[in-house]
Amino acid sequence: MKTLLVIKSGYPLPLRMPAYREFFRLGWKIVVVDKVQNQSLRFADEVIIHDLDNLEELHKIILCRVGKPDGILTFNDSALVQTAILAELLELPFLNKDIAKIATNKLLQKKCFDMYNIPTAKWMEISSPNEAIEPLKEWHYMVLKPVDRSASAGVSKIGNAKEISKAFQIAVNESTIGKVIIEEYIEGPEISVETIFIRGEHKVISITDKITTEGNTFVEIGHSTPSRHSKEIIEKVKELTINACTALDLNYGAAHTEIKLSNRGPIIIEVNPRLAGDCIVDLIDLSLGINLYKFYGKTALDESISLDEITPKYQQGAAIRFQPSKKNGVLIDVKSSVAEYPAWLKEISVFQALNVPMPDIDSNAGRIAYAITTGKNGQEALENAENALSSISFTFKEEAKCVEL
């Protein structure tokens, strides 16, 4: 039995359970390293509770507890560099640690894109709120974000100079290294592209349309695949994605690339050198019959992957729609009006606990439920997901009042 080491468990559990199911189906022993106890860990064969600050000590603990594993991976940007270093200590295949450092730092990514003439938003690093005032006058709208976070944490859209100071402080607090970057806000639909590196090439597997919240934050509340955009746009997106991954020298594993479709053409926002979150991997499996968890694991275990394995088995639409939380709200009851689940409803889940404060809707953590559905295309699947969520009533209290969504 092969042993697969997972660094950080991919919390919250419902959004990564399909990965563990696939790993177990393939007969691998799963060892999870995480710094805190959480519900995901109970599904591991072996659990090691340890932070990622002292990797030399963690290396010794792993060898003592489980011996040398056969492969290593992580689902989290925040653990990518540490996983790369640990892989080097364990002599396991993974992304090079220096490449990982560039790929998980938005500032270093931007410098790389500029060096290789990859179309990206205008940007600059700032060390104080005042430095953002003149760029805002030029760009009219800007995005201010920490250089080293994901899941939209600490990200703000700004259209007024009075908003800069507060947004700057939020981003600085979210950044583990205290650095902030500003970008010109790009108008247009947002999409994401999933690729894997196989036989020396980046292969585009799927392109997903994205829905985000309106206003000053960009919380992802829906994804659908295949993309509804024209073949001409899709081809340009594929070319841009491969060029961006090549510029970053991502010569291992999977990548999740975020792109805006502007009136100037596709614009790279960022590349994340790991599998997508938000169950996008599951949507691809439903849409194409390609399970990227399997290939991510096989890559980690240094097992070969044939081109036939990443060829679509069928084509249909798939989507996920999230229910946002409510600011200052407490969920007190959930009821469903669905008597029978239709064939297109693949999963529906409420993962917010009752009678505790809900997270603010200022990052991807601010969501309380989701539905995964299929359809003849991405748009129909998304409509099905919205209908599924609307069948649930969420009752919450706010300032001693009860309100129903």
Tell me which fold the domain 318-404 belongs to: D-amino Acid Aminotransferase; Chain A, domain 1 (3.30.470)
- Whole-number pLDDT of residue 214: 76
Domain ranges of the chain: 3-94, 122-184, 187-315, 318-404
For 205, left (φ over 0), alpha (ψ -120 to 50), or beta?
alpha
Q: What residues of the chain score a pLDDT lower than 50? A: 400, 402
Pick the CATH number of 122-184 from 3.40.50.150, 1.10.1240.10, 3.40.50.720, 3.30.1490.20: 3.30.1490.20
> Cα separation of 34 and 78, whole Å?
12
* 3-94 carries CATH number 3.40.50.720: no
User: Residue 319: how many CB atoms within 10 A of its CB?
Assistant: 33
Q: What is the pLDDT of residues 326-372, one digit of tens each?
A: 877 888 888 888 778 899 999 998 888 888 888 877 777 788 899 99
Name the β-bridge partners of 212.
220
> Cα separation of 252 and 201, whole Å?
10
- Whole-number pLDDT of residue 397: 83
DSSP output for 103-148: HT-HHHHHHHHHHTT--B--EEEESSGGGGHHHHHHHSSEEEEETT
Q: Both tokens of residue 240?
A: 């841009």
Q: 296, 228, 267: which is closest to 257 by C-alpha? A: 267
- Whole-number pLDDT of residue 401: 52
Q: What is the pLDDT of residues 69-97, one digit of tens each?
A: 999 999 988 899 999 999 999 999 999 99
- Whole-number pLDDT of residue 13: 54
DSSP output for 36-88: S--GGGGGSSEEEE--SS-HHHHHHHHHHHH-S-SEEEES-GGGHHHHHHHHH
- Whole-number pLDDT of residue 15: 66
> Whole-structure pTM over 0.85, yes or no?
yes
